[in-house]
Chains A and B, each alone.
Chain A
Amino acid sequence: MSVKLKFIEEKIARGFMLLSILIVLFFVLNVLYAVLRRGLPVLTWEMVSSLPGGGFYIGKEGGFLNAIVGSLYIVLASTTIGLLIAIPVVFYLNTYLKKTDRFAYVARIAYDVLFGIPSIVYGAFGFTIMIYLGLRASLLGGIIVESLLIIPILIRTLDEVAKNIPQDLLDSSYSIGSTRIETIGVVVRQIAPAIATATLLSIGRSIGDAAGVMFTAGFSDSIPTSLSQQAATLPLSVFFQLSAPQLEVQDRAYAAAVVLTVIVLILSLSGRFIMNFFSKNKI
């Protein structure tokens, strides 16, 4: 009797598991479908290629090029800064320090915690600092906050891979006379695919983040020409236009949402591809 029961239970459990996969598949398609169906018909070339015109916020001519370029500036600058800080830190944690080092443990936990802190808190904190320093919302502020936001992501992703670099490989580099810092070339080559994936991951995170830049980068209708000017970003452009009463303005919000979704889709799929493609060649 109980033998039969356990097979029935097995069947039921398997059924529920398949169901869970289907539910997730449904949600993915549902989200994409909702955004694309509403946004694609109203997306025009003018919207992605022109700045907001005079009557933009009552539904007249213009597009959201300002937001696209603003997002691009912030993302490129913060990713560059992020990589310049993350790679040395990961290198330091994995070569200079022993696996059991107390400081390495504490630093890793600290980056874990930073990874978990919501972007709205980064935004609020950044805003406080900027007020304290007498700065106004600007491109620079947005870049700094986004850098702080993605550095933990970069470090965590790179560290996962760097941890698995065989000690033998480092030892063979030392044994032909390299110092630890000179071994950085070996380490970077080993974690190169991870650097690519982590970069894509953090670009995706920072291009989609709205709460962090809301306070710090502000919003403007023109493309910023200096670091001290305010900059528009895509998520905020979606958010602000969506709350407008006019249908034409809302249409543009949905169109901007399509642009954002497509960018993120490309990023996340190519990240997975790179990881699959390069992980074959690792030692």
Chain B
Amino acid sequence: MIVFPTPVQTTLLFYMNYRYLKDKVAGHLMFVLSALSLLLVVSMGVGLYLKSAPILADHSLWSLISASEWKPMKNEFGFFPFIMGTAWVTVLAVAFALPISLLMAVFLTEYSRPWLRRYVFPLLDILAGLPSVIYGVWGTLLIVPWISEFVAPSLSRSSSGYTVLAGGIVLGVMAIPLLVSLFIELFSNVSQDFREAALALGATRWQTVKHIVLRKSLPGLIAAVVLAVSRTLGETIAVLMVCGNLAVAPGGLLDACYPIPALIANNYGEMLSLPLYESALMFAAFILFFVVLVFNLFSRIVLRKVTQY
């Protein structure tokens, strides 16, 4: 016997199907949106690579990286000064920010009372929120004069103040909030049992931190530092304003330098004049992209593994 559905049932069935259909279609749409992230990463890499292909065809990769002459009009593209500039500033910034952030994070998770945290977190929010151009203004107003009037004379050197040191300090301060928040997350992931076991054996709090907390979170700490390095590498406007922008590899803290992001930002206006010039700047962007990509992949995978449970 065939049972025909009543009109009410048909409507209901249709409505149910419609809802399932909506569920499915929305799912597919949102899948596409989520997959776009991956597509964007890939297309960024491919796009920048294709754009830098002309200069890679004209010069070998090694000669681009190791040559130190930067004369676009004479077809000389040496990235060595810029790579060294970036390296100096980044290493200095992280070396400056790391001890401060580490101590601060330890204090906030292991020592401080909740009320103090309520006052310190907004400070970190402010540091994290201030735009890089404001840090640049701060650098030119205070750090640069401080270096040229105090630091350089006390070392009996003369300096304009627009130096690696200025860049390192400014970028270091900018890196502190990121490092502290990553460290706090890592430390609060260390099981409380370990701490209690150590304290029960008579260890002081600092001994617990030193032998238990820091050791337990070491892989995460390394990943966090790598992440901070990659963040510092890409800072543009602040370094552009305080580093001096001299295309010579720096020999010391009181020399001017010219990091890669500053190179790109400074020359975007004139780069269309020569095809190879544009390609060279896109190659610079590709270097940045590539290094940041590798660093980020490494540290994010480690961090996700560490903080998962």
Contacts and interface: CB of A to CB of B under 8 A. Distances in A.
Interface of A: 6-7, 9-10, 13-14, 16-21, 23-25, 27-28, 30-32, 34-35, 38, 85, 88-89, 91-93, 96, 103, 105-114, 116-121, 124-125, 127-129, 148, 152, 155, 179-182, 201, 204, 207-211, 214-215, 235, 238-239, 242, 253-254, 257, 260-261, 264-265, 267-269, 271-272
A211 B128 CA distance: 17
A179 to B, nearest CB: 4
A10 B204 contact: yes
A35 B285 contact: no
Give the dominant DSSP class at A's interface: helix
B173 A27 contact: yes
B265 A211 contact: yes
Nearest to B27: A96
B239 to A, nearest CB: 10
B53 to A, nearest CB: 12
Interface residues of B, number: 85
A51 to B, nearest CB: 21
Contacts of A24: 100, 104, 120, 123-124, 127, 176
A268 B30 CA distance: 30
A204 to B, nearest CB: 5
Given A27-B173, A124-B48, A242-B137, A261 B100 contact: no
Contacts of A119: 234, 236
Given A35-B138, A124-B282, A204-B131, 8 more contacts: A6-B203, A31-B135, A34-B142, A96-B31, A105-B304, A125-B44, A238-B134, A239-B240
21 contacts: A7-B204, A20-B99, A20-B103, A21-B107, A88-B26, A105-B304, A107-B34, A107-B35, A113-B292, A114-B37, A117-B289, A118-B231, A118-B261, A121-B292, A179-B22, A209-B131, A209-B132, A210-B237, A211-B236, A268-B125, A269-B125
Given A14-B206, A35-B134, A268 B234 contact: no
- Residue in B133, B203, B268, B297 whose Cβ sees the most chain A Cβ within 10 Å: B133
A184 B129 CA distance: 30
Nearest to B185: A160
A239 B237 contact: yes
Contacts of A7: 204
Give the dominant DSSP class at B's interface: helix
Contacts of B270: none
Q: Which 6 A-B pairs have the closest CB atoms?
A: A118-B234, A208-B131, A268-B129, A92-B30, A17-B107, A211-B236
A63 to B, nearest CB: 18
A122 to B, nearest CB: 8
B156 to A, nearest CB: 27
Nearest to A209: B131
A127 B268 contact: yes
B23 A117 contact: no
- Residue in B134, B233, B240 whose Cβ sees the most chain A Cβ within 10 Å: B134
Given A14-B111, A92-B33, A180 B48 contact: no
Contact of A30 (B41, B138, B176, B231): B138
A264 B131 contact: yes
